[in-house]
Amino acid sequence: MAALRPAGVTNQTYRFPFPGQPDTVEGLIDLMRPTLDLALACEPDRIVLAYTPEYMAGGITASQRLRAFIEETTGLPATTASDGVVAALDALRARRLGLVTPYLPEANRNLEAYFSGHGFSIVNIAGFGTARERRGSTSRVPESAVRDAFARVDSPEVEVLLQVGTALVCAGFVADLETQLGKPVVAVNTATYWLALREHGIADRLGGYGILCTS
C-alpha cells in the first residue's frame, strides 16, 4: 500500500497484535480495539483495514460486523479488504474465479461460501495451508510459489484470477501475471487500496499494478 500511494496521500500504518488467527470476528475485534485508539491520534480521514475475515464461517456477516465496528468506534468511514475484493470483481464484471489463498481446506470452504453469497463462483482454488502455522509463515511464501499457484487455478472457464490473504505476496507482479495469463488478476491489497481511494474521491490511475488500478 505504501508503493500504491499517490502524491498528496499519506498512509499512517498501525499494526494490531496477532498471537494467532482468530476464529471469530469478536476475537478479531478484541485484538484490533487498542490499535484503533492509537490510529485516531494521527487524525485520519479514513480507516483502511488490510485484513480479510472471509476465512471465518459466516464470512459475509463477519465482514459487515467488522466494518460497522470500525466506523462506530472511530466515527470515520472505513474501507475493508473484504469490500475491496468484491468491488474489484464487480468493476471487472467477473463472476467465475480462480482463487489463490494462504488457507487450509476448511477455511477455503468458508471462502467458497463467502463468494457464492456475493454471486461469484470459484472454478479452481489453490491454498498454501500456512494460516495455522507460526506467525509470519504466510508472508514467507515465495513469489515463485504464488506464481505457480496462479498457473494451476487458471483455466478457460476462469474470468478473473484472485488472491486473498493480505500477508501473501502478490501486488507487485499482478501486471506481469496479466500479461502472462491473458486475463485480469486481482490482489487483495491492491483492491483494498484502490477502493479506499475511489471511495474517498481520489481518481488517480496507478500504472504498473494491473488493469484494476487503471479504472
Domain annotation covers residue 120:
yes
Task: For residue 28, give the nearest of 58, 78, 60, 69 by alpha carbon.
Answer: 69
Domain assignment of residue 58, given as a range? 25-82+193-203
- Distance, in Å, from the CA atom of 103 to the CA atom of 213, rounded to the nearest integer, reads 26
CB 166 within 8 A of CB 188: yes
Q: What is the mean pLDDT of residues 81-107?
A: 95
Q: Number of helices and strands (H, E) in the chain?
A: 7, 6
Entry field: residues in the chain:
215
pLDDT bracket for residue 134 (50, 70, 90) = very low
Domain annotation covers residue 2:
no
Q: What's the confidence (pLDDT) of residue 129?
A: 77
Grid coordinates in use for 129? 495451508
My answer on whether 97 and 138 are in the same domain is yes
Domain annotation covers residue 159:
yes
My answer on whether 109 and 146 are in the same domain is yes
Is pTM beyond 0.85? Reply is: yes
pLDDT digit string, tens, across residues 29-52: 999 999 999 999 999 999 999 998
* Pair type for strands 47-49 and 78-80: parallel
CB 99 within 8 A of CB 126: yes
Domain annotation covers residue 20:
no
Domain annotation covers residue 18:
no
My answer on whether 169 and 199 are in the same domain is no
Q: Which amino acid is at 33?
A: R
Domain annotation covers residue 164:
yes
My answer on whether 60 and 96 are in the same domain is no
- Distance, in Å, from the CA atom of 55 to the CA atom of 160, rounded to the nearest integer, reads 20
